[in-house]
Amino acid sequence: MSCWDDEAGGFGAYPQHDAHVLSTLSAIQILVIHDALDRLDVQRVVSFLLSLQNPQTGAWAGDRFGETDTRFLYCSVSALSLIGQLDKVDRELTVNHIISCRNFDGGFGTGPGAESHAGQVFVCTAALAILDRLDEVDYETLGWWLAERQLPNGGLNGRPEKLEDVCYSFWVLSAMSILGKLHWIDDVALMKFILSSQDTEAGGISDRPGDMASIWALSAGLSAGGTVVLHPLSPAGLSLLGYPGLQDLDPVYCMPPAVIEKRGLRKGWVALPRRKEL
């Protein structure tokens, strides 16, 4: 709560930092997991989030300075959904904006005209799932585009002809899980790739084998113990792939499924069955 920016009515990334939708979603996710929503000034947060949507284009800004990006649309829709205020969203305006960001390859970009990128595919697909508008996704084409992110080394990239990176384990896999197409990639090859990015001496996981471990890639690769990780969009690719011994993950909200189900927010996603061993 020390990150609450009382002037704006949202949360910043750190105490005294300005409110932003990215950190507002994180804060709300944490409050929901700890069953502490009573600490939240719901009216003000709703007001803050809704004020950032452009009433003509439906594009969503991150803060008062106006940068718009489909990531922010997802953060706002997800946050409002988690606090039970989704009905305040102008669904048609929001969905139409997502559609305007859709490309011929089935994927989505940061805004109209932008190329498809796995991160944006995740946020747009998840937002459509929350809004019960997955009918706007071309499952076959997007499923194909996502499956083609897998490289010969088993890792996933975020766009055609780019390098693999462990963080895409989340963006791509979550989207595929929402579309029910996880079986369209080689799960064993991917798990082996993620594990080979593990720094077995110093601990942690890096973005690819041989590179320095980073906290970002670590949360990308694993689903930590029983609690959801610190970063709001922290990946849990291994969990979705059914890696033994891990907790389940709801890919739409990037939260523990039990928490989501309790709030009646479960959408139709499919993870691979949890293996007893790799």
Partner 1 sequence: MSHGVRRTRQSPQDIEARRQKEASKIQEYLDLYNDVMSKKTAKEWSQEAFDLTTQLLRANPEIYTIWNYRRDILTNGVFTSKTPNEINHILASELQLTLSALRQHPKVYWIWNHRRWCLENTPNGPGTDESGEPGTPNDPLGWKRSNWAKELAVCEKMLDADARNFHAWSYRRYVVASSPDPRPLPSELAYSLKKIESNFSNFSAWHQRSKILPALWEGGERSEQEVKDQELELVKQAFYTDPNDQSAWLYHRWLIGPGSNASLLEQEIAVIQELLDIEPDSKWCIEAIVHYKRLLLRHKVQDADKLKSECAEGLRALARVDSQRRRRYEELGS
Q: Pick the piece of the chain touching partner 1 (CB under 8 A) from 86-94, 145-153, 244-252, 253-261.
A: 145-153
Of 30, 67, 139, 267, the one binding partner 1 by CB under 8 A: 67
Stretch that binds partner 1, among 37-45, 86-94, 157-165, 227-235 (CB under 8 A): 157-165
DSSP state for residue 136 in the 8-state scheme: G
Minimum Å distance from CB 67 to partner 1? 5
For position 110 contacting partner 1 by CB under 8 A, the verdict is yes
Residue number, 55 or 200, with CB nearest to partner 1: 200
* DSSP 8-state class, residue 232: T
- Vertex 273, ends 223 and 163: CA angle to 5°? 55
Least Å distance between CB 147 and partner 1? Answer: 5
Query: Please, are residues 128 and 136 in contact by the beta-carbon 8 Å criterion?
Result: yes
Bridge-partner residues for 10, per DSSP?
Answer: 5
Pick left, alpha or beta for residue 6 (phi over 0 → left; psi -120 to 50 → alpha; otherwise beta).
alpha
- Chain centroid offset of residue 46 CA: 20
Choosing from 65, 135, 203, 273, the residue that interacts with partner 1 (CB under 8 A) is 65
Using rule CB under 8 A, residue 248 touches partner 1 = no
| Structure token digits, residue 203 | 């601990």
Q: Is 136 in the site for partner 1 (CB under 8 A)?
A: no
Residue 18 makes contact with partner 1 by CB under 8 A: yes
Of 109 and 251, nearer to partner 1 (C-beta) is: 109
Rounded to a whole number of angstroms, the minimum distance from the CB of residue 105 to partner 1 is 6
Among residues 55, 113, 225, 273, which is the contact residue for partner 1, using CB under 8 A? Answer: 113
Stretch binding partner 1 (CB under 8 A), from 24-32, 35-43, 100-108, 237-245: 100-108
Q: Which of 41, 90, 92, 186 binds partner 1 (CB under 8 A)?
A: 186
Instruction: Retrieve residue 76's tokens.
Output: 């706002």
Choose one: 39-47, 206-214, 230-238, 241-249; the region binding partner 1 (CB under 8 A). 206-214
Q: Helices 118-130 and 91-100 meet at what angle, rounded to 10?
A: 160
Distance in angstroms between the alpha carbons of the first and the last residue of the chain: 41
CB of 13 to partner 1, least distance (A): 7
CB distance 191 to 150 below 8 Å = no
Q: Does 230 bind partner 1 (CB under 8 A)?
A: no
Please count the residues of this chain forming the interface with partner 1, following the rule CB under 8 A.
51
What's the one-letter identity of residue 43?
Q
Instruction: Yes or no: say if 183 and 193 are a contact pair by the CB < 8 Å rule.
Output: no
User: What angle do the packed helices 91-100 and 70-82 form, to 10 degrees?
Assistant: 150
Return the residue of 24, 174, 198, 206 that touches partner 1, per CB under 8 A.
Answer: 206
Taking alpha carbons only, the member of 48, 44, 54 closest to residue 20 is 48
Residues 66 and 179: their CA atoms lie apart, in Å, by: 31
Residues found near partner 1 in the complex (CB under 8 A): 12-14, 16-18, 20, 63, 65, 67, 69, 103-105, 109-111, 113-117, 143-144, 147-148, 150, 152, 154, 159-162, 165, 181, 183-186, 189, 199, 201, 206-208, 210-214, 216
